[in-house]
Amino acid sequence: MTKAAPIINITNLSKKYGEFFANQSIHITISKGHCHAFIGQNGSGKSTLIGMLSGRIKPTEGNIFIDQNELHYGDPHSSREAGIATIFQELTIIPNMTALDNVFLGFKEDKSILVNRKKRLERFYELSKLLNTRISPNSYAIDLSVADQQILEIMRCLNLDSKILILDEPTSSLAQNEREALLEALTELKKRGITILYVSHHLDEIMKICDSFTVLKNGVVTEHSSIEGWTKQKIVHAMLGEEIDSDFKEILVQEYPNQIPSEEIILEVANLESFHFLKNISFTLKRGEILGLGGLVGSGRSAIANTLYGLGENCKGTIKIQGESVKIPFTPRQAIGNGIVLAPEDRKKKGLHLGFEVHENINLIDLKRIGSYGFLSTKRSKKLAQQYIQEFKLTRPINSIVKNLSGGNQQKVLLSKVTSVNPKVLIVDEPTRGIDVGVKLDVLRKLKELAMQGMSIIIISSELEEVVAVSNRVLVISKGEIVSELKGKDISVNKIVESTFLEGSHQT
């Protein structure tokens, strides 16, 4: 088999902010028609590198050649003209436009001021066939799933004759079947000669679809190789410089053998109903306990979290905090007053103010503690926040703008924020989404430490291995109901999946 010709050649590429190198002396060659993965911890330099390729960031020095032609740096339009298209985690689909109009967004008609709808429909169906999708061109984007919206983005890129697709965490919000469908579509694009640059923390996907990979650490390339002959364990070692067992449970059991809940019941929920979906949700949560909610996407796990945090609809049932009845909260402020806080699933839209500094985000949950007579004290804000960024091992300055932080550091800011009010009950929804394996372990360790300090925790994660690793007890949720409770040695991924698909079979 002959080696594919290179389409991307990067030489001595660096990006420097002040004295800090985000990327340093990058040398990479990527072959045409290959899927190439960029792998590394949050803050390793992946985002900066794809930013330079996409034209959003101008390098400090070095060169990028596409088909032997040098890019015009810091110009997204020039990168698009060179055939580079980037699909970020935050999609650029217009919700109130049809699928057809979204695909042709930014497309220039040939010397005509009129739109040829017939020609556009033909092209739409051509692209749909290529990607094996059946999205109606007349569907409004707001009514489509995230997976279908992502397909529209890819169709738009292909319609603009893109020959290089950059995908940033493309499966982070997708269910398993949607992930498989996307990977199949990308495989088909490879066959057509499209080059794919794939940024993901899911090593299973990388092993399945990628031909080659680059590992970045602290802005420097530590490995650049064909995927052949590599294992997930070897890649993790190259990424972190140390072996990390994929079995988080074994690690946490060894490190926190004394994380055992007390007998005191902190939260008691009885016959909770909400969203016309949750039914008869009843459970207790002990002091220092980590309670996992297992189940599929859409099973009702996040609905439980949102209801407890004052974001439910048409709520019924009872809640007790340390034995005292409280009203079901109707606002987050009421929930915080009850001692319940939520680190939401979507940290960027619902958990953090991206344009604010780190210390400002941490203190937004309770401004009274940093203000007096209507004035806020920046000095007091930074002093209070400093304690939490040390506890959560944030690796950036306290006055950093949050949107400029890596996903892992953003998650640490969010956890610092919600724990800064010393809640009785901490709910974390997808606490490790979009962060690398090393930071994942840091987050899980911190949850164990908080539990040992007496905090009661509810964890929701699509990564069931993490639920199993950190939880003292697991409730399996399916179709808005609790269908199983797992304890001790029964807590396993297999048991959660089995209970999910055989809902109600444990009841006689």
Residue 339 counted as domain residue: yes
The three-point CA angle 31-37-38 to 5° equals 115
CA distances (Å), origin 321, targets 340, 447, 454, 455? 9, 21, 15, 13
- 233 and 299 in a common domain: no
Q: 295: which 2 tokens?
A: 């189940």
* Rounded distance between C-alpha atoms, residue 247 and residue 467, angstroms: 12
**What are residue 316's DSSP bridge partners?**
273
Confidence class for position 321, pLDDT limits 50, 70, 90:
very high
Nearest C-alpha neighbor of 353 from the set 402, 311, 292, 319: 402
258 and 197, same structural domain? no
Q: Are 357 and 400 in contact (CB under 8 A)?
A: yes
In a domain, 376, yes or no: yes
- In whole angstroms, what is the distance from residue 407 CA to residue 29 CA? 27
Q: What is the pLDDT of residue 506?
A: 39
- pLDDT at position 407, please? 82
Tell whether 59 and 149 lie within a shared domain.
Answer: yes
Query: Considering 173, 205, 240, which residue would you say is the last residue of a domain?
Result: 240
Arithmetic mean of pLDDT over the chain: 86
Tell me what pLDDT residue 478 has. 84
pLDDT at site 450: 95
Q: Same domain, yes or no, for 256 and 180?
A: no
Q: Are residues 224 and 255 in the same domain?
A: no
- % pLDDT > 70, the chain: 93
% of the chain surpassing 90 pLDDT: 44
- Judge if 274 and 208 occupy the same domain: no
Q: Give the pLDDT confidence of 445-472 residue by residue, as tens digits.
A: 999 999 999 999 999 998 888 899 999 9
Q: How far apart are the first and last CA of the chain?
A: 60
Q: How many C-beta atoms surround the C-beta of residue 308 within 10 A?
A: 26
The pLDDT of residue 361: 87
pLDDT at 508 over 50: no
Task: With a cut of 90, say whether residue 386 has pLDDT above it.
Answer: no
Residue 173 pLDDT greater than 60, yes or no: yes
Q: Kindly indicate the confidence band of residue 131, based on its pLDDT and cuts at 50, 70 and 90.
A: confident
Query: What pLDDT score does 240 carry?
Result: 60
Q: What is the pLDDT of residue 317?
A: 95
**Residue 215 placed within a domain:** yes
Q: How confident is the model at residue 384 (pLDDT cuts 50, 70, 90)?
A: confident
Picking from 210, 240, 270, the residue at the C-terminal end of a domain is 240
pLDDT given for residue 99 in this prediction: 92
184 pLDDT exceeds 70?
Answer: yes
> What's the CA angle centered on 417, arms 413 and 299, to 5 degrees?
90
**Residues 109, 253 within the same domain:** no
* 397-402 mean pLDDT: 87
**Residue spans of alpha helices (H) in 392-492:** 407-419, 437-452, 464-470
* Cα dist from 228 to 41, 181, 209, 234, 444, whole Å: 22, 23, 12, 12, 32
Per-residue model confidence as pLDDT tens digits over 330-379: 999 999 999 999 999 888 888 898 999 888 888 888 877 777 766 777 88
Give the pLDDT of residue 4: 67
pLDDT higher than threshold 70 for residue 102: yes
Give the model's pLDDT for residue 113: 63
Burial bucket for residue 229 (CB in 10 Å: 0-12, 13-18, 19+)? exposed
Name the band, by pLDDT with cuts 50, 70 and 90, for residue 438. Answer: confident
Q: Which of the four pLDDT bands, split at 50, 70 and 90, describes residue 501?
A: low
In this structure, how many other beta carbons lie within 10 angstroms of the beta carbon of residue 341?
A: 23
Residue found under tokens 């698009």: 80
> What does the pLDDT read at residue 470?
95
Q: Which residue has the higher pLDDT, 393 or 77?
A: 77
pLDDT, tens digit (0-9, with 9 covering 90-100), for 17-44: 888 889 999 999 999 999 999 988 667 8
pLDDT score recorded for residue 483: 92
Task: Report the SS3 class of residue 195.
Answer: strand
| Partner residues linked to 326 by β-bridges | 319
340 and 484: one domain? yes
85 and 174 fall within a common domain: yes
pLDDT the model gives residue 327: 94
- pLDDT for 134 equals 86
* Structural domains counted in the chain: 2
Is 507 domain-assigned? no
User: What average pLDDT does range 103-112 have in this prediction?
Assistant: 73
In a domain, 1, yes or no: no
Q: What is the pLDDT of residue 245?
A: 36
Domain presence at residue 508:
no
pLDDT score recorded for residue 17: 85
Q: Are 233 and 111 within one domain?
A: yes
Of 201, 217, 240, the residue at which a domain comes to its end is: 240
pLDDT at 440 over 90: no
Model pLDDT for residues 271-295, shown as the tens digit of each residue: 999 988 899 999 999 999 999 999 8
Residues 449 and 467 in one domain: yes
Least confident piece of the model among 103-107, 261-265, 429-433, 446-450: 103-107
CA distances 233 to 238, 262, 408, 465, Å, are 9, 37, 21, 16
Predicted confidence (pLDDT) at residue 185 exceeds the cutoff of 90: no
- 294 and 209 co-located in one domain: no
pLDDT greater than 70 at residue 409 = yes
Range of the domain at 377: 248-502
Place of tokens 């794919």: 196
Q: Is residue 500 over pLDDT 90?
A: no
Report yes or no on 133 lying in a domain.
yes
State yes or no: pLDDT of 1 exceeds 50: no
Least confident of 210-214, 222-226, 342-346, 405-409: 405-409
pLDDT of residue 109: 65
pTM value is 0.57
CATH number at 392 reads: 3.40.50.300
Asked if the structure places residue 385 within a domain, the reply is yes
pLDDT, position 74: 85
Cα(458)–Cα(448) distance, rounded to whole angstroms?
12
Question: Is the C-alpha dihedral spanning 363, 369, 375, 381 positive or negative?
Answer: negative
